[in-house]
Structure 1
């Protein structure tokens, strides 16, 4: 690996909270010869290299400037590329020791491909490892072709099947905002690589970036204005949403739409990414911040839920939610994606706030991530839970989750002035 950066004094563990050092230690515990596993815990299939998890952990490794963790980022990406599917699919997860590979459950995981490209681009930007970039050109081109096919109607937005991304047991499908935002960053990555390799921009790629950002802003932020924005994907669906979404018009980004209508719940990760990836303008950021402070965070713990409000047995979506699971039902009220509180999402929110100069608020949420990660597992502190129960604030899911550690690193590095994305 070339041009490996030295750790700089601004990011030394000695100058960071204890949560930083503990998070770094857990990422080291997740390191294997094949890259990062999701967790060192012997739970389900978490001791595998996951397309989504390892790429997010890789982003944290890059801003940590820990040479061994940066190397594990590279190893993860190389492992994922080695097990790429015949059409360009990046594994949802893979166990190189047994060659067992999964590209998803009942549906493929679209965001595994998206995070892989982002991870490759950020690793190369950080290290300027030209040998790595050259080795990844063919896998990246296969992913680019596959993502284009997943647009289906070639109109610029990816179509996501049910269970097709990180909210794999939740009720989201169709044109999901979270995935479109990652897709935007993917296209930006391809533009940056093309400019580096050819010394000039690619008009088609540049145009697609501009077009996708415009589509996101036109279709997912439903304002209170009377005029329908240009380039609405489906005018009838948009008009129906504008009439039905009185509580969310001009307040937050809509989570998804499909041929049967819009979703109306607050998708925390999507709203955070809209701010972090410079899609939201200053006014929209303030609206979302106000909504989070007033309606989403309860004040006892500074953590964001995956989605809000919670789906309960009284809601019409409850029956469908009960049927959406792989092995056992996880989405009881205030658990997992159904109102569970996630260090992962909160760490990215802290990064967004720090980037926008909201340092005091970013510190509050970074401390919320550390407090969650500090909770006990099996009688020992620093359990790094997957999520917390939304009202009881007890650990839930798998313990010692690498991406919960990554959330702490991302938050602290952002407060120190580091930026996740170009």
Structure 2
């Protein structure tokens, strides 16, 4: 991204103020008696309480001082807990009116469970509502047990099936970094809860959390310095390292599985690696450089879900174009295939602000507001799900709650209130 001065003009500041006001209004529109719906727009199941979307919207609500939104955050978590599955699974989405529950499509959504645990901890820390925590503790413990079972081989990493997380029509599976990072944050949350409830630390959980941190650092960043002691599988790591000269040392690897590593840049994972203090300052700087040089366009500074784009000439295209539930969404520069996502960018703004990089944080926050202001179906401020990576046209579902949440998360982070109160130094 070229180095250009940040726009501090009155018109730019007015646009920011309008963007925040509109985002708050959309969060209120998403607020229902049962919690936050993904979108107040009808169709495609978005007018439901979602595990992933609902918690991310709740994180934004908890940064505000709006009592109604904070109460909706509580109702979101309570609704998800009420419809917990028989093995501990948290719904991917639920319609409390019709009692229709989905725990996923062709496979379950692992990150719904992870976001739920994180959301419960963040609500409790933000509000001091011990009675809420006491009520939901049995639900949280069942989720904890289920997550342990999803390690399969009891070696510390969750195994994620195809379509098993937010990239539910994309080609990654196995030991996906995004999910491991959420698992790390969920374990930190569990540790903080245990210490508060029992008055003493859970040493087994502390050991598991430390082990997971080491596994992530050792297996998802290639620096060309040999095989680390915590390599999950030495031969697999060596083969991955040999195949990664184009990206090793520039960003975190997206995933690995028995068939090898995934080398595409996963923006959400790379942002969370910094926010959750997995990355060191050198790694952060290299990821920032990669984003600025390879993925972010100054014309509309937003992060893509994944980079580079899978094109029809690529060997992955044949598999990608049959990976959909109802209709194919992942054409080049659309949806997860190079589409630009306000929600991912919102967490990047929070990370940049946390690192005192306020000019860059504000620049990306302006990008979120500009994306949210795009016109869909003749309506401005449509809050699209994503933006086309080349044409900068809006795509997906409009009135997307977590696109509004991105603006709120970014705004409050720049003001000094980040979305996560539980961190590596708490609990």
Offset at 1:247?
1.1
Q: What is the SS of the residue equivalent to 2:155?
A: coil
Indicate if the aligned counterparts of 1:23 and 1:405 stay in contact, CA closer than 8 A: yes
Structure 1 residues 165 and 253: alpha-carbon distance in aligned structure 2, compared to 1, 3 A threshold? same
Please report the RMSD computed on the Cα atoms of aligned residues, expressed in angstroms: 1.2
State the match for 2:167 in structure 1. Answer: 167
* Pairing of 1:302-321 with structure 2 (within 5 A): 302-321=301-320
- The TM-score normalised by the length of structure 2 is 0.95
Between the aligned partners of 1:146 and 1:199, the Cα distance in structure 2 is 25
- Map 1:56-75 → 2, pairs under 5 A: 56-75=56-75
Equivalent positions of 1:136-155 (< 5 A) are 136-155=136-155
Structure-1 residue corresponding to 2:3: none
Residues 16, 369 of structure 2: 8 Å contact kept: no
When normalised by structure 1's length, the TM-score is 0.96
Task: Give 1:35's aligned residue.
Answer: 35
Q: What's the offset of the Cα at 1:17? A: 1.9
How far the C-alpha of 1:412 sits from its partner, in A, is 0.5
Match of residue 110 from structure 1? 110
CA contact (8 A) 2:268 2:344 kept: yes
Verify the 8 A CA contact 1:88 1:139 in the aligned structure 2: yes
Structure 1 CA distance, aligned partners of 2:197 and 2:97?
A: 35
- What is the alpha-carbon distance in structure 1 between the residues aligned to residue 207 and residue 22 of structure 2? 43
Tell me the equivalent position of 2:249.
250
Matched positions, count: 409
CA deviations over 1:140-170 (Å, ceiling 9, x no partner):
0000000000000000000000000000000
Rate the CA distance shift 1:118–1:168 in 2: closer, same or farther, 3 A.
same
Aligned partners of 1:43 and 1:398 also within 8 Å: no
Unaligned runs of at least 5 residues, structure 2: 1-12, 423-427
User: Corresponding residue for 1:362?
Assistant: 361
- Say whether residues 1:392 and 2:387 are aligned partners: no
Correspondence 1:74-113 to 2 at 5 A: 74-113=74-113
CA distance, structure 1, for counterparts of residue 154 and residue 103 of structure 2: 23
Cα distance in 1 for residues equivalent to 2:340 and 2:126: 31
1:341 corresponds in structure 2 to 340
Distance 2:219 2:45 in 1: 37
Equivalent runs, 1:211-226 vs 2, <5 Å: 211-225=211-225
For structure 1, which runs of at least 5 residues remain unmatched after alignment?
A: 1-12
Alignment of 1:17-32 (within 5 A): 17-32=17-32
* Distance in 2 of aligned mates of 1:134 and 1:369: 37
